[in-house]
Every structure is written in structure tokens, then in C-alpha cells.
Structure 1
Amino acid sequence: MSTVLIIFFVLSAITLSSAFLTIYSKNPIHSAIYLVICFFSIAGHYLLLNAQFLAIVHIIVYSGAIMILFLFTVMLMNLNKEDEVHKPRVTRLGAIVLFTLMLTILVLIFVNSEPVSLNYVDLGEDYQSINKLGQVLLDDKEGFMVPFEYASVLLLVAMIGTVLLSKKENTAK
């Protein structure tokens, strides 16, 4: 068995187990941590596919930004066990039936699928390196530098707005 295949199976096991623990965990903070682990293992899959830029963007966007927003949402909601609504047994049974049905369908699709051809044609061009991607995106002829700057200003304004909206007013004077 090759090293890449072993790494793939280890990353797959980490991805599936952390995704299951994300759903199964009753503590929202633990769920968020398991989700971050799942995101990092998916980024490992991107690295196995030789897509370094996609792996880094995945870590920055999902593991960084979205999980920070998720944790702030959980903290702002102030989830307590006393406030938690208990779901009726019919809802739980429906969720178990739906999960079993979806799992069966996915296993049948996996069993009946054909393997992917491992042969591909190498054209000699390197389109996956970060260096080439940086040249294409930030070249003076294409002009993608200005939209990147606009996006950064938009994200900065959104972050300031979020902080101002979540700030509690001091009523005691």
C-alpha cells in the first residue's frame, strides 16, 4: 500500500469521525471544535490532490472566518441546557429513519460506482502552483488587484458593523 493511500485513509477516517462527532456532540463549543478538525482534514485531502491554494483558502475561510463567526453566534445566543427545547420522540424517530435512508442510498451509490481512471494527460503547464495563480490573478494586464482591495474593505466594514451590532448598551448610568 502506498503512503498516499494510507494518508488518504487516515484523513478520511478523521473527516468522517469528526463530522459524526460534530453532529452527535451536545455541547455547541465541542461541536465547533470537531467541525474545525473536519475542515482541517478536508484541507489535507486538497493537499493530496496537489491543490495547495485551495487547501490554504479552505483553512483560512472555513476554519478561520466561518468558525469564528459560528463561535461568536454561539456565545451571543447564550445557550443553556435549561432553555433547550426537548424534541418529541416522533421527531427523533423521523431523523433516524431519514439518516438510515440517506446512508443506504450513499452506500448503494458508492458500491455501484465505477472507479475513476488514474491516468491523466500532463500538458506541461503548471496551473496549480500558488506562484502561477498569483501571476494570473494579480497581473497588471488583468486588473484583479482592485477587486481584491474592494473585497478587503467590504469585509472590514462588515466586521466593524458586526462588532457594533453585537455590543450591548450600558443602561446603568
Structure 2
Amino acid sequence: MALASFTFFALAIIAVASAVGVLIARSPIYSALSLILNLLCVAGLYLTMNASFIGVIQILVYAGAIMVLVLFVIMLLNLDALPSPRDIGWGPVAGFLFGVVVLMQLLYVILVGFDISLEPATPVMTAETGSAETLGIMLFTEYALHLQVAAILLLAATIGAVMLAQRSFE
């Protein structure tokens, strides 16, 4: 059990560090590579919580396919380095941090006010709900309407992107 906890916290620390790397990298390529590391760490976190299907999908879809597309876009746009941190106004950064603190306090008040407990999932619960079969049954029975609405929205967005790209090449 100690190895699983150590692995979880090590992956969590690496995920947070790579997320900070996404924010502070001066080159968009380095930022994208930090994002890939972050997505791989999140997949590792899923695997340590016995959600193997979600972890593998995280690696295949996000760290694989989506990041390849992001890197293609970055290379096609030929972006230069981002401005240095000295050029950034620190007022919005301080406002963002203040907003995060207020949001954390608000969430704490909601959790305590509604007596919501955050209990960790047991391995039996994750084995029952984290399998591909259970996820598929839930998607196509209980969440069938939500899945169809998301598919229609994605189809509309794809058609719109194709139309905009076709218009820009003419």
C-alpha cells in the first residue's frame, strides 16, 4: 500500500510541476511538451486509482492524438516565443490567485453546509464502475441523450471548422 501511495503522490507532484511548466514556458513547443507530460501523469493517477480504462483512454486520446494535432497547429502557425514574464502585468495574476482562494473557501463552505463527505473509493467500487463494460452500459442507457447531444454538437463544430477552413483557402 505504501508503494501505491508513494506513486500517487509522486505522479501528482510531477503533474502539478508540469502544469506550471505549461504556464511559464516561453516557447509554445516546450509548453506543449509539458502538457503531454501532465496528461501522462494524469493517466498514471487514473491507473493508481484502479481506473484502467480511463487511464488508457487518457493516454491514447489526449496524450496521443490531441497533442499531435496541437503540435501540428503550433508548427503550422510558426509561433515565436512568448513575451517575457517581466512584460506581464502582475495585477491580473494576483486577482486570479485571490479568486482561487475565494473559490476554495466557497467550496469548503458548501461541503460543510451540505454535509458532503469526500470519502476515497474502495478498490471494489472502482472495479465495478471503472471498467469499460460498465462505462459503456451507463453511456448507452442512462446517458444516451447526453451522448447524442454531445455527438451533434461535435458534428456541428466539425462542419463549421471545415467551412471556415475552406473559406480561408479560397
**Unpaired segments ≥5 residues, structure 1:** 138-153, 169-173
Task: Determine the structure 2 residue equivalent to 1:22.
Answer: 22
Task: Determine the structure 1 residue equivalent to 2:67.
Answer: 67
Identity between Structure 1 and Structure 2 (%): 29
Give the TM-score taking structure 1 as reference length: 0.62
Q: Which structure has the highest helix share of the two?
A: 2
Shift of 1:102: 3.5
Structure 2 distance, partners of 1:111, 1:6, is 27
Structure 2 distance, partners of 1:88, 1:54, is 40
Structure 2 distance, partners of 1:57, 1:119, is 20
Match of 1:104 among 101, 105, 114: 101
Match of 2:89 among 92, 102, 106: 92
Q: Is the 8 A contact 2:15 2:41 kept in 1?
A: yes
Shift of 1:105: 3.4
Shift of 1:108: 4.3
Q: Bigger relative contact order, structure 1 or 2, given CA contacts below 8 A and separation 6+?
A: 2
Q: What is the letter of the counterpart of residue 97 of structure 1?
A: A
**Unpaired segments ≥5 residues, structure 2:** 139-154
Task: Determine the structure 1 residue equivalent to 2:47.
Answer: 47
When residues 77 and 3 of structure 1 are mapped into structure 2, their CA distance, relative to the original with a 3 A threshold, is same
Please give the secondary structure, in 1, of the residue aligned with 2:89.
Answer: helix
Structure 1 distance, partners of 2:96, 2:63, is 26
When residues 16 and 109 of structure 1 are mapped into structure 2, their CA distance, relative to the original with a 3 A threshold, is farther
Structure 2 distance, partners of 1:80, 1:121, is 47
Q: Is the 8 A contact 2:51 2:130 kept in 1?
A: yes
RMSD, aligned α-carbons: 4.6
Q: Is the 8 A contact 2:26 2:83 kept in 1?
A: no
Q: What is the letter of the counterpart of residue 95 of structure 1?
A: P
Give the TM-score taking structure 2 as reference length: 0.63
Give per-residue Cα distances to partners, 1:66-125, cap 9 Å, x unaligned: 1111111111111135xx678996x622332233214433664687767623475958x8
Structure 2 distance, partners of 1:57, 1:8, is 19
When residues 71 and 109 of structure 1 are mapped into structure 2, their CA distance, relative to the original with a 3 A threshold, is same
